[in-house]
Amino acid sequence: MKSRLFFFIPLILFGVLILYFAVGLTKDPSKLDTDVLLNQPMGDFKLVPVQGRSEGLTIDDVKGQVSLVNFFGSWCVACLQEHPFFLQLKENNVIPLYGVDWDEKKPNDVVRWLARHGDPYTKIGVDVTGETIIDWGITGAPETFVVDKEGIIRYKHIGPITERSWRETLWPLIVELRKQ
Amino acid sequence: MIVEIGHFALVLALGVAIVQGVVPLMASSVNNRRWMGIAGPASIAQFLLLCVSFAALTHAYVTSDFSVLNVANNSHTDKPMLYKVSGVWGNHEGSMLLWVLILATFGCAVEVFGRNLPTGLKSRTLAVQSLITVGFLMFILFTSNPFERLINVPINGNSLNPLLQDPGLAFHPPFLYLGYVGFSIAYSFAMAALIEGRVDASWARWVRPWTLAAWVFLTIGIGLGSWWAYYELGWGGWWFWDPVENASFMPWLAGTALLHSAIVVEKRGALKNWTIFLAIIAFGLSLMGTFLVRSGVLTSVHAFATDPERGIFILILLCIAIGGSFALYALRGPSLSGGGLFKPISREGSLLFNNWILTTATGVVLLGTLYPLFIDAIDAGKVSVGAPFYNRVFIPIMTPLVILMALGPLMSWKRTDAKAVLSRLYLVYGATLVAVVLTYILKGDDGWGGYFGMGLATWLATGVLWDLAERIKLGRTSFGDSMKRLIRQPRATWGMTIAHFGLAITIAGMTGAGNWKVENIQVMQFGEQLDVAGYTYTFESVRDVRGPNYDALEGTFTVHKGDKYITTLKSENRHYDTGGMPTTEAAIYTMFLGDLYAVVGDKSGDGYVTRLYWNPLVAWLWGGTLLLALGGVVSLTDRRHRIGAPKRAQKAAATEGAKA
């Protein structure tokens, strides 16, 4: 009988391993660094306009109401995934969406990109020096932040916004923040 | 259109795989031979459908069809054709498609080469194999579809990782996958045996060549990966114990154990359920390797944060495949015991000892790889386990294995007189002693690692040669007769001899590269000379060169030894047009005793940062690895594998059963 139980050892050990994996899956190893910014006020920034436009983007534009700040670039394929959704947001006047364009090869690239795919942004600033990217802890594009009325960063979304993430996370949070 | 055909073929393959996975299992439980037979044609159909699917994706890459999201994200118009093709598996979705294609290829191969397998065993094996395919096809179709279209088609594509543009990296994943996935056959055979409740010599004879083939591929894959790291990363290292490397090393260790225990099942009918267990863990570790690498559990991967579904899906797959098979093992394993008895000091005993050590080593690598995960899971912080841990633990564990490797083949089955074996080996002792003393004289007091490693390598190499000499009765009969015996040695013996000798060479290479490496990092100006391990490097020039799709900074050194010109070294620092990290192409000149290795880095003041290395015996590392793989191939061509599971084996099994 004892030796029969012996054969269960691999199964039991494997069960323990799976438990750890399941817990491990809920933890994103990259989270530590990026969460540091949460619930902190935005650092000061003043970004230049897109080529051919007059208005850039400053910290005062973003403050005052709950808004989204989206980091994008014309080189970013995944940004196109969330683009149609952003256009809808603008059409229905849901929430102000500010764009920070970064890492362009040529200043003209983003102009062509916006002309081709449409411009969903309330205002766009171009981060030429890369300082704002570092301040906000950007690791790639697209990344989208929810900022409250006081200018405090409340949420960071990595990757394209999907209908599901909007419905389940972003929109409830925005409603909540608007109540405050 | 071709893309849609590929997608459609993938969906059809899933349908076929479900049929192939379910019907034969049900049919064989009621012993309906007709319906069991469906497994064969289904495995061929499945293979062909997946070929179509893979060809369609390859076509999209070759023609740079950027309307496919996967191509747009991972390829670029400017890429050379070779890397457009290798781009197919250079990304998550495509590599998963390659995974299932190989899975189906092995299944199909069992059908084609396994004409004389017992119908029940064959159809069950193919069914289990197909169930794995079902899991992976669902994973691909639901979470990682490579055929997804993109509405707004980009012009050039967006390949971000120039490191992938390298022949070493382009070809090592297919080999690794052939190895990983090859173990699936051993696993499927093991599952079929557990379901049937029967393991005999012919079973082992069937499993061994598949395991051997998988092991050869995995050995080559690991070797290629290590070689790539050596010349591409620019630090002169060849093994970093990082999770991705460990993920391939663990199945290799378990697979090596499996190869050896299957011999015992085949020859002596013992260690049956241990062999089954090894077959499960070898493939289980391959699956887990996929999980660790793909889910981002261990490494921070940007894609993971956007897509935890993938991780959860693989976790569930893992639960079903490994958990299910361990459960089956717990229920059926005990009934598979029995077989030939043996004393601890015997051929079987030494193979069992080999298995214990290899399994322990696997456990150590597993622990080291997962430890950071355990710590994180209980919220005790984030740690990483590095090379010092492995070096300290791994060497003491493997040393007895290497010592025994020289002795095991000299032992006879059932029982051996240890004293008799040990007293014959005076030449081996002598050679080992000479190697240790010689290393000590040449290298002085450079730490014990050097002469210990060289002693171990010599012990193994001479032990292997001694074994061969005994087999051909060298010196105990006429020389001509010995040569005749040498030619008549079975291929399996040759395979073992070559592979074990290869390991000795590899150990010597590791010892050299690990203990006597010389590295100099400094700022150099043009014309400046530097002496590294007896070789004089002169920094000649730096110029800009243009490659097919990158700009590079090319640094040139000439190397002299004394007054004698040795070679001119040109290293490159590449910046690809598509951006991303710059990559290093180290300049390497390989000699018998070591590599000259040079890298030019960034400009600093009026000079350049240069890294110059002397990497002793590195060529032995790769050479030894090649011999390991070659040994496997030679053993694979052994007569008894070619003629399959002969009647003789079944008769032998029957008589053995009668005796018991």
**Residue span of the structural domain in which A48 resides:** 30-179
Please identify among residues 141-160 of chain A the ones whose CB lies closer than 8 Å to any CB of chain B. 158-160
Q: Does A24 touch chain B (CB under 8 A)?
A: yes
Amino acid at B646: P
Answer whether residue A106 is part of any domain: yes
Classify A88 as helix, strand or coil: helix
Contact A8 B330 (CB under 8 A): yes
Q: Does B488 touch chain A (CB under 8 A)?
A: no
- Cα–Cα distance, B188 to B186 (Å, whole number): 6
In tens, the pLDDT along B530-586 reads 888 889 999 988 888 888 778 888 989 999 998 899 999 998 888 877 666 677 788
E strand or H helix at B367: helix B347-377
> How confident is the model over B431-455, as a mean pLDDT?
84
In tens, the pLDDT along B194-250 reads 998 888 887 888 888 899 999 999 999 999 888 888 877 666 677 878 777 888 899
> How confident is the model over B447-463, as a mean pLDDT?
89
* CA B360 remoteness from chain centre: 18
pLDDT given at position A35:
52
Give first-to-last CA distance, chain B, whole Å.
63
- Cα–Cα distance, B205 to B651 (Å, whole number): 14
- Cα–Cα distance, A154 to A151 (Å, whole number): 9
- Cα–Cα distance, B76 to B162 (Å, whole number): 11
What's the longest Cα–Cα distance across chain B? 85
Answer whether residue A143 is part of any domain: yes
Q: Return the minimum-mean-pLDDT range out of A145-149, B380-384, B427-431.
A: B380-384
pLDDT given at position B581:
62
* Closest to B137 in 3D by CA, of B173, B107, B179: B107
Answer whether residue A73 is part of any domain: yes
* pLDDT(B487) > 70: yes
Look at the block and give the residue holding tokens 């007059």: A54
Could you say which DSSP state residue B644 is in? -
Q: Are B129 and B188 in contact (CB under 8 A)?
A: yes
- What is the sign, positive or negative, of the torsion defined by CA atoms of A9, A11, A15, A18? positive
List the CATH number of the domain containing A171.
3.40.30.10
From A9, which residue of chain B is nearest by alpha-carbon distance? B330
> How confident is the model over B449-472, as a mean pLDDT?
90
Q: Does B224 touch chain A (CB under 8 A)?
A: no
- Domain count for chain A, please give it: 1
A97-102 and B587-590 beta bridge pairing: unpaired
A97-102 and A153-158 beta bridge pairing: unpaired
Question: In sequence order, what DSSP letters do the residues of B37-48 get, joined into one string?
Answer: TTHHHHHHHHHH
Confidence of residue B499 (pLDDT cuts 50, 70, 90): very high
Q: Are B71 and B94 in contact (CB under 8 A)?
A: no
Look at the block and give the residue holding tokens 């490994």: B322
Answer whether residue A82 is part of any domain: yes
- Cα–Cα distance, B441 to B454 (Å, whole number): 13
Return the structure tokens found at B634.
């030679």
Classify B519 as helix, strand or coil: strand
Answer whether residue A126 is part of any domain: yes
Among the partner residues B152, B296, B323, nearest to A117 by beta-carbon distance: B152
Rg (CA), chain B: 27
From B366, which residue of chain A is nearest by alpha-carbon distance? A17
> What Å distances lie between residue A139 and A59, A143, A146, B302, B581, CA to CA?
21, 8, 17, 8, 14
> How confident is the model over B637-659, as a mean pLDDT?
50
| Highest-confidence segment of A154-168, B276-290, B496-510 | B496-510
Question: In sequence order, what DSSP letters do the residues of B175-193 get, joined into one string?
Answer: HHHHHHHHHHHHHHHHHHH
Q: Are A95 and A66 in contact (CB under 8 A)?
A: yes
pLDDT in tens, chain A (180 residues): 447 778 888 888 888 888 877 776 666 544 444 455 677 888 888 899 988 888 889 988 888 889 999 999 887 777 877 888 898 888 888 899 999 998 887 788 888 888 888 899 999 999 888 788 878 877 777 889 999 988 888 888 887 887 778 888 888 889 888 887
Answer whether residue A92 is part of any domain: yes
Contact A159 B73 (CB under 8 A): no
Directed axis angle between helix B201-232 and helix B243-268, to 10°? Answer: 160
Answer whether residue A8 is part of any domain: no
**pTM score above 0.90:** no
* pLDDT(B163) > 60: no
* HSE of B450, CA atoms in CB hemisphere, 13 A: 18
Smallest CA–CA separation between B193 and chain A, in Å? 16
Look at the block and give the residue holding tokens 């390298």: B166
Length of chain B, in residues: 660
Contact B312 A3 (CB under 8 A): no
* Closest to B91 in 3D by CA, of B67, B74, B103, B72: B74
In tens, the pLDDT along B322-356 reads 999 999 998 888 877 666 778 778 888 888 899 99
Please identify among residues 319-338 of chain B the ones whose CB lies closer than 8 Å to any CB of chain A. 319, 322-323, 326-327, 329-331, 333-334
Q: Are B198 and B124 in contact (CB under 8 A)?
A: no
Confidence of residue B298 (pLDDT cuts 50, 70, 90): low
Q: Are B230 and B168 in contact (CB under 8 A)?
A: no
Contact B150 A28 (CB under 8 A): no
Rounded mean pLDDT of chain B?
Answer: 84
Could you say which DSSP state residue B68 is in? B
pLDDT given at position B481:
86
ipTM for the assembly: 0.72
Q: Are B584 and B613 in contact (CB under 8 A)?
A: no
Answer whether residue A14 is part of any domain: no
> What Å distances lie between residue B42 and B130, B358, B438, B562, CA to CA?
9, 37, 62, 68
pLDDT given at position B303:
34
Residues 6+ apart with CB under 8 A from B657: B200
In our burial notation (b when 16+ CB lie closer than 10 A, e otherwise), range B410-445 reads bbeeebbeeeeeeeebeebeebbeebbeebbeebee
Length of chain A, in residues: 180
Task: Give me the percent of chain B exceeding a pLDDT of 70.
Answer: 89
Q: Are B94 and B140 in contact (CB under 8 A)?
A: no
Directed axis angle between helix B119-143 and helix B39-62, to 10°? Answer: 30
In tens, the pLDDT along A6-53 reads 888 888 888 888 887 777 666 654 444 445 567 788 888 889 998 888
In tens, the pLDDT along B83-120 reads 888 888 877 888 889 999 999 999 999 999 888 788 88
B564-576 and B550-561 beta bridge pairing: antiparallel
